[in-house]
Amino acid sequence: MINEIQRVADLANWSGWVPFTQAVVQAPQTPGVYLARRGNDGALVYVGKSGERRGMGIRGRLIIYSQGQAAVSGLGEAALDRALADRTWLLTRLAEVDTGRPRRATSWAREAIRWTDLYLCWHGTESEAAATRLEREVLSRLGDYPLWNRRRIVHDEQLRATAD
């Protein structure tokens, strides 16, 4: 049986899979598409695209996620949604509040990205238009495969499944 990652493997020359923190440093400063999975051997959970991002490309987008500045868009929002639906994660954050150590929203968003234990691979492209085409091809090839991408899942059902 072909898994979801094998379905898109031949669409591009993907990098190797690396932990999110390593991807932030290694990803190219060009437009492109990135894939995310939970854990080193986990299932694919997200397909993302980045344009120029002020000359920082994919790396720039990942930096924004790592800094907690994208809590309401893309992978940052998807990670925070799942963290907020996890009772243990949420109780830990509430305990911080109860002990007088409340955090800012960006800190919670950074913590959510860490909590998801993401591994990424990517393919840099020559332009944002090429990245958009590749992203569409990847999503098309994946068909109805459930992803965290907002346009691709029934949001509440996915969150309930994650919280169980």
Q: What proportion of the chain, given as a percentage, has pLDDT over 70?
A: 90
How many domains, in total, are found in the chain? 1
Q: Say which CATH number the domain at 11 has.
A: 3.40.1440.10
Which comes out higher in pLDDT, residue 158 or 24?
24
Other Cβ atoms within 10 Å of 18 Cβ, number: 18
pLDDT surpassing 60 at residue 1: no
> Is the residue at 47 inside a domain?
yes
> Is the residue at 102 inside a domain?
yes
- Residues spanned by the domain of 22: 4-159
Other Cβ atoms within 10 Å of 71 Cβ, number: 19
Mean pLDDT in residue range 95-103? 91
> Is the residue at 153 inside a domain?
yes
* CA angle (12 as vertex; 9, 69 as ends), nearest 5: 95
Mind listing the pLDDT tens digit for each residue in 138-147?
A: 999 999 899 9
> Is the residue at 164 inside a domain?
no
Mean pLDDT in residue range 23-39? 97
State both tokens at 150.
């907002």
Mind listing the pLDDT tens digit for each residue in 40-77?
A: 999 999 999 999 867 799 999 999 999 999 888 899 99
> Is the residue at 41 inside a domain?
yes
pLDDT at 12: 97
